[in-house]
């Protein structure tokens, strides 16, 4: 019995010791876990409250606002400064009624486009290697709904380039930037070459860009590329039979007269065997004074005037015809230095059309690779108007109740520049756009009223919602039946969207 008691006591002590060791180990593990998650939370919190200062390699190609946000995922993973890592995801609900595009059926088109991006890069001194992948998909689309390569592009390479930036060449104060590979570009206003913002897919180019300037108020950009053809389900690719190049001079040396002068060239031989080759040049100039921001106002300022004028001319050969076209944009605005900082602007746009569709001269302005939302209308599933054979006049009114909230009201009246030419973009792929070659349908497309509210909580979270009503003009009622207008296409169209974007 005595030996049994000693054995039992020894067993209990051993068990208690084991439990104590286990408890200590568990406590230690818990402490490490707490320290890990606490450290991650601390890094994320610091990243959220600290403005990102690192210059990213594609800031020389596109506006920084499109890629600049607090890198929360990078902070959470505790990645070093020489690594670029970013994630973004945008979900947008869209609904548009009374479809007008040839190839569509009547009814309301409701979809849920989703865009996801991944950025990964490494930096060593002036050198960068950057990859950016993008996945663009839509849900609830029917066979006759608006879709295609402006809406859908399964995960593909958006950017993959190497770059070298030297900020003070031989102590001259000059800066040079060289990018080689697949890249996105935004030139000036973006009307002819831009990185798509609202559209669900994004244009990119294979080639090189070189820039030289004083890194303050002037820069010269040159590029030689092959535009990438977006394939919704297969790998995107470029073709050297389609080349796009150009040169741009940008200057902000005069605070009241920022300006750009540019030349763009396009040579498209892909359909040359069918006689549909294109080789033309675009010459353009832009002068502008950007709208005033809160921080620019002084106490005694009553307000600030802003303006923008841009015009471009195209000449050469297109689809086997002589080609001569032109476009112009003008807007003048005024921001009042008072509560909500209201801004009112008048706007005018023109892009030429072909006066005689049966002639041997093409006069329909080519929109190239530009973006439209900033001065035309919401795009996405809507976007009826392109910078080709179009004329528009209207006004825009914005207020900002807070620095992170913006409200917009816009009204435009729309016409075809030439009644006999096609209504560009009014068709699904595989169908011809709406057109009355006799001109009997006239050129009045109607007018639209747009309301948009945006809330930028911070650089990582953005919310937006909008509504647009298109009062269709007599053009749609007068079109011949053979034009291909869908049933109910004469009715006014309503467009509604709600969008959320998260960037990490």
Contact 461, 70 (CB under 8 A): no
* Residue at 117 is within a domain: yes
Give the integer Cα–Cα distance in Å for 490 and 495.
15
Beta-strand ranges (E) seen in 337-460 are 343-351, 361-362, 390-402, 405-415, 444-458
Residue the block writes with tokens 């190049």: 245
pLDDT band of residue 45 (cuts 50, 70, 90) is: confident
Residue 273 has a pLDDT of 77
* Residue at 17 is within a domain: no
Domain span including residue 241: 51-503
Neighbouring-strand partners of residue 18: none
Neighbouring-strand partners of residue 289: 307
Q: pLDDT tens-digit profile of 176-213?
A: 999 999 999 999 999 999 999 999 999 999 999 999 99
* Residue at 10 is within a domain: no
Mapping DSSP to helix (H, G, I), strand (E, B) and coil, where does residue 36 land?
Answer: helix
Q: In sequence order, which residues have a C-beta less than 8 Å from that of residue 414 and are 6 or more positions away?
A: 385, 390, 391, 392, 444, 445, 446, 447, 448, 473
Give the integer Cα–Cα distance in Å for 470 and 478.
17
* Residue at 132 is within a domain: yes
pLDDT band of residue 10 (cuts 50, 70, 90) is: very low
Range in 51-65, 112-126, 481-495 with the lowest mean pLDDT: 51-65
* pLDDT value at 36 more than 90: no
CATH code of the domain in which 164 resides = 2.40.160.100
pTM exceeding 0.85: yes
* pLDDT value at 2 more than 90: no
Q: pLDDT tens-digit profile of 110-135?
A: 999 999 999 999 999 999 999 999 99
Residue 26 has a pLDDT of 54
Q: Of 66, 75, 22, 13, which Cα lies nearest the Cα of 47?
A: 75
Residue 115 has a pLDDT of 98
Contact 61, 186 (CB under 8 A): yes
Region 435-464: what's the mean pLDDT?
97
Q: In sequence order, which residues have a C-beta less than 8 Å from that of residue 412 and are 6 or more positions away?
A: 347, 376, 377, 392, 393, 394, 447, 448
* Residue at 474 is within a domain: yes
The DSSP result for 444-468, as a single string, is EEEEEEEEEEEEEEETTEEEEEEEE
* pLDDT value at 370 more than 60: yes
* Residue at 55 is within a domain: yes
Residue 33 has a pLDDT of 59
Region 336-364: what's the mean pLDDT?
96
Domain count, the chain: 1
Tokens of 203: 């244009």
* Residue at 360 is within a domain: yes
* Residue at 484 is within a domain: yes
């Amino acid at each position: 019995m005595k030996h049994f008691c000693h054995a039992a006591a020894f067993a209990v002590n051993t068990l208690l010791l084991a439990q104590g060791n286990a408890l200590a180990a568990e406590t230690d593990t818990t402490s490490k876990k707490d320290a890990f998650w606490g450290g991650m939370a601390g890094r994320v919190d610091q990243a959220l409250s600290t403005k990102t200062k690192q210059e990213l390699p594609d800031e020389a190609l596109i506006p920084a606002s499109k890629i600049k946000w607090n890198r929360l995922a990078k902070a959470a993973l505790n990645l070093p400064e020489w690594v670029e890592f970013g994630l973004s995801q945008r979900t947008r609900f869209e609904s548009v009624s009374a479809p007008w595009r040839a190839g569509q059926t009547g009814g309301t088109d409701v979809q849920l486009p989703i865009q996801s991006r991944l950025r990964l890069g490494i930096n060593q001194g002036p050198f960068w290697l950057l990859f950016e992948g993008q996945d663009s998909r839509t849900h609830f689309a029917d066979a006759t709904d608006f879709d295609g390569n402006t809406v859908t592009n399964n995960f593909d390479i958006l950017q993959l380039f190497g770059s070298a930036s030297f900020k003070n060449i031989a102590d001259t104060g000059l800066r040079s930037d060289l990018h080689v590979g697949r890249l996105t570009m935004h030139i000036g206003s973006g009307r002819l070459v831009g990185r798509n913002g609202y559209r669900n897919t994004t244009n990119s180019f294979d080639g090189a860009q070189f820039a030289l300037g004083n890194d303050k108020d002037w820069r010269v950009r040159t590029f030689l590329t092959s535009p990438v053809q977006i394939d919704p389900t297969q790998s995107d690719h470029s073709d050297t039979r389609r080349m796009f190049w150009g040169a741009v001079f940008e200057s902000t040396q005069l605070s009241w007269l920022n300006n750009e002068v540019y030349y763009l060239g396009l040579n498209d031989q892909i359909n040359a065997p069918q006689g549909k080759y294109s080789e033309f040049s675009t010459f353009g100039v832009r002068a502008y004074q950007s709208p005033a921001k809160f921080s620019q106002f002084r106490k005694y300022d009553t307000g600030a005037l802003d303006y923008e004028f841009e015009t471009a001319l195209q000449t050469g050969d297109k689809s086997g015809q002589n080609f001569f076209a032109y476009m112009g944009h003008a807007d003048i605005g005024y921001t009042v230095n008072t509560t909500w900082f209201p801004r009112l602007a008048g706007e005018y746009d023109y892009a030429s059309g072909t006066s005689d569709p049966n002639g041997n001269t093409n006069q329909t302005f080519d929109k190239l690779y530009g973006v439209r939302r900033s001065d035309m209308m919401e795009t996405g599933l809507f976007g009826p108007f392109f910078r080709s054979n179009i004329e528009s006049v209207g006004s825009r009114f914005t207020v900002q109740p807070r620095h992170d909230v913006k409200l917009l009201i816009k009204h435009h009246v729309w016409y075809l520049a030439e009644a006999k030419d096609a209504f560009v973009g009014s068709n699904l792929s595989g169908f011809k756009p709406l057109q009355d070659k006799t001109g009997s349908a006239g050129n009045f497309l109607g007018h639209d009223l747009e309301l948009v509210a945006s809330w930028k909580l911070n650089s990582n979270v953005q919310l937006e919602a909008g509504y647009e009503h298109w009062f269709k003009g007599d053009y749609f009622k007068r079109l011949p039946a053979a034009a291909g207008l869908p049933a109910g296409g004469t009715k006014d169209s309503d467009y509604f969207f709600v969008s959320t974007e998260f960037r990490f």
